[in-house]
Structure 1
């Protein structure tokens, strides 16, 4: 049996490691009554990283959503002792702990917004122009083998789908690769090495660790060598596909591909008969998740610094841009290579959706796919730590697929806040 005191000592050690480089002064040091937000300064992403680190410390899934999320949002605060009590209860008998703090009340539901805050066609046109022009010239080599591309804006459930697909032995579904928007690996390095985006570089190295059985150091060194050589990203895809020997399909799910039609056009140009999974989510489901995760920090400065858009507007603009670009590409792809999937159906009826995807890809359905929290190596960690995973870290808060995620946005928003173009396109997509 684990005592709360023994668990608390290890929890304090984990939190101390996470905050080692923070400018935090706690009189008397960290103790049972230390609060994560008030005393340490945690934000939502820090709670997720803490959950991942504690699960790594105790080598078991704990289902931290029962501790940290109440009424659809993070609790206002939580103490070290409350964390330790929760962890000890889960380790000892699996009985869910009581909420660690008073449940945060739902914010007042937003039913309307001022006209100047609505997304319009004019705003979208301006937003579209703010993404950088890219050099995506072909390297002149033959096309790569068939691969599967998941096309969706961020916060649309692509991490969950990717991890479900990784449970099939005929698919290789690594974390986000971030390859298509760049002509060379060196271009990719220069674009992503910023403070808020450098973790996006790790997906390729994590894929190599899985494929070749390499250590983190070997994989990172190989990627660095590719960058120094100026290897094209098209050639790097071949490095990933070669070990698959035509027996497994590479799955690339990188949400930011959808910001530019020219990026998406590379798929047809660089791969033989690629398959596309168009993952759609209700725009307000995506908006709510986008706001909670502060995704605007990943947008290029040109897309966020002008116009004074709020996070809700940026999220809706991203959703609308993504769907317009994706549907434009769909017109150029034969119907037998295009499959639309709704996130809402995926979380409510995962097996039915996965069977449809397997039939589409021409591979057998495998029952392990619907158990994303089993012990299979589905690359849900980063190169060095799970908290560096390229994708939705909220995956680590849960221990099962949550059907409530399909409609949770309704607690916060009415569809009346959406712009006309967004509502019309959502209706065309089945909402």
Structure 2
């Protein structure tokens, strides 16, 4: 049996390690009554990193969503003691009580917004201008072998789909690679070496660790050598595909590829008959998830400019930009290499959707695919150094099963009337 006091000391150690480099001083040190938001200044992403770190400490899945989310939204705050009681209860196979400080009252459903806050075509044109023109000319080498690309904006379920696909022995689906927007590995390093984006560099190293059985130091050293040599990203893809020996297909799911049509054009230019999975989610489902996850902290630098745009509008603009760019590319791809999948179907009927995907790719369906929390090392749900550095949706770590309620939970918070007319029209064209 785990005692709450013993668990609490280990929880305090985890939180102290997580916040070691933060400019936070707690008079008298961390105690049972220390609150994560009020005293330690946690944001939602920090709760997720804490959950991952605690699960790593105790080497078991705990299902932190039952502690951190009440009534469809995050709790306002939680104390060290409440965390310890929850963890001890789960470790002892109990069902802990809900936290004592749930979010106050029900969130009022937003049914309308002022016209000035509605996304328009002019706002989208301005948003497009935030993204830099890139030099993505071909390096003149032959095309790489076939690969599978998942195209979707962030907060659309691509991490879940990626992890489900990684459960198939014929696929290699690593964390986000962030390769296509850059011509060389050195350019990639320069662009992503910033606060809140430097972890995006690690997906390629984690892939190399899995492919070659390397430790983190060797994988990172190999990537650094590629950067120093001026290796092109096209050539780096070959480094990832070579160990697969044609027996497995590489899957690249990196949501930010969708910000620029020129990035997406590289796929057919650089790969032999690549396959595309267009993952779509209702725009307000993405908006709500975007807001909950403090995504502004994780945006590429060019997109994160404030510009007086609220988080809801920013999320909607990202959805709209992504879908317009993706549909433009779809017109240039033969129908047999393009599959559209709805996130809502994926979380409600995962096996049926995965069977469709496997038929599309031309591989057998494997039953292990439908349980994303089995064999997590193979599915690469951790980062190079820790799970909390995984390049992708860290909220994956809050759960211990696919949640079908995620398909419609946004309806508690928003009416479709808040969307701008360009978004509503495109959503209808996509089947919503």
After TM superposition, the score normalised by the length of structure 1 is 0.98
Change (3 A) 1:384 1:148: same
Q: CA deviation at 1:307?
A: 3.7
Q: CA deviation at 1:73?
A: 1.6
**How many angstroms apart in 2 are the aligned matches of 1:202 and 1:393?**
14
Residue 412 of structure 2 corresponds to which residue in structure 1? 411
The 10-residue stretch of structure 1 (101-110 or 339-348) with the greater mean CA deviation from structure 2: 101-110
Change (3 A) 1:326 1:23: same
**How many angstroms apart in 1 are the aligned matches of 2:101 and 2:22?**
27
**How many angstroms apart in 2 are the aligned matches of 1:53 and 1:102?**
22
The 10-residue stretch of structure 1 (187-196 or 294-303) with the greater mean CA deviation from structure 2: 294-303
Residue 423 of structure 2 corresponds to which residue in structure 1? 422
Superposed counterparts of 1:141-156, under 5 Å:
141-156=141-156
Change (3 A) 1:305 1:23: closer
SS state at 1:276 partner: strand
Residue 7 of structure 2 corresponds to which residue in structure 1? 7
Superposed counterparts of 1:210-225, under 5 Å:
210-225=210-225
Q: CA deviation at 1:401?
A: 0.3
Change (3 A) 1:367 1:300: closer
SS state at 2:81 partner: helix
Residue 159 of structure 1 corresponds to which residue in structure 2? 159
- Whether the 8 Å contact between 1:106 and 1:412 is mirrored in structure 2 is no
Residue 379 of structure 1 corresponds to which residue in structure 2? 380
- Report the aligned-residue RMSD: 1.1
SS state at 2:359 partner: helix
Change (3 A) 1:213 1:400: same
Structure 2: which 5+ residue stretches go unaligned? Answer: none
**How many angstroms apart in 2 are the aligned matches of 1:111 and 1:144?**
49
**How many angstroms apart in 1 are the aligned matches of 2:266 and 2:301?**
24
Superposed counterparts of 1:329-344, under 5 Å:
329-344=329-344
After TM superposition, the score normalised by the length of structure 2 is 0.98
- Whether the 8 Å contact between 2:162 and 2:253 is mirrored in structure 1 is yes
The 10-residue stretch of structure 1 (208-217 or 106-115) with the greater mean CA deviation from structure 2: 106-115
Q: CA deviation at 1:220?
A: 0.3
**How many angstroms apart in 2 are the aligned matches of 1:306 and 1:294?**
14
Residue 266 of structure 1 corresponds to which residue in structure 2? 266
Residue 98 of structure 1 corresponds to which residue in structure 2? 97
**How many angstroms apart in 2 are the aligned matches of 1:429 and 1:183?**
32
**How many angstroms apart in 2 are the aligned matches of 1:175 and 1:306?**
28
**How many angstroms apart in 2 are the aligned matches of 1:416 and 1:48?**
31
**How many angstroms apart in 2 are the aligned matches of 1:22 and 1:108?**
34
- Whether the 8 Å contact between 2:259 and 2:325 is mirrored in structure 1 is yes
SS state at 1:140 partner: coil
**How many angstroms apart in 2 are the aligned matches of 1:381 and 1:301?**
24
Count of matched residue positions in the alignment of Structure 1 and Structure 2: 430
**How many angstroms apart in 1 are the aligned matches of 2:310 and 2:352?**
37
What's the CA shift string for 1:41-71, capped at 9, x where partnerless?
A: 1111111111001000000000000001112
The 10-residue stretch of structure 1 (150-159 or 297-306) with the greater mean CA deviation from structure 2: 297-306
**How many angstroms apart in 1 are the aligned matches of 2:41 and 2:47?**
10
What's the CA shift string for 1:107-129, capped at 9, x where partnerless?
A: 21111111111111111111112
Residue 51 of structure 2 corresponds to which residue in structure 1? 51
- Whether the 8 Å contact between 2:197 and 2:300 is mirrored in structure 1 is no
Residue 348 of structure 1 corresponds to which residue in structure 2? 348
**How many angstroms apart in 1 are the aligned matches of 2:169 and 2:426?**
36
Structure 1: which 5+ residue stretches go unaligned? Answer: none
Residue 401 of structure 1 corresponds to which residue in structure 2? 402
- Whether the 8 Å contact between 2:77 and 2:102 is mirrored in structure 1 is no
Q: CA deviation at 1:187?
A: 0.6
SS state at 2:78 partner: coil
Q: CA deviation at 1:297?
A: 3.2
SS state at 1:341 partner: strand
- Whether the 8 Å contact between 1:149 and 1:252 is mirrored in structure 2 is yes
**How many angstroms apart in 2 are the aligned matches of 1:297 and 1:199?**
12
The 10-residue stretch of structure 1 (132-141 or 64-73) with the greater mean CA deviation from structure 2: 64-73
**How many angstroms apart in 2 are the aligned matches of 1:295 and 1:376?**
25
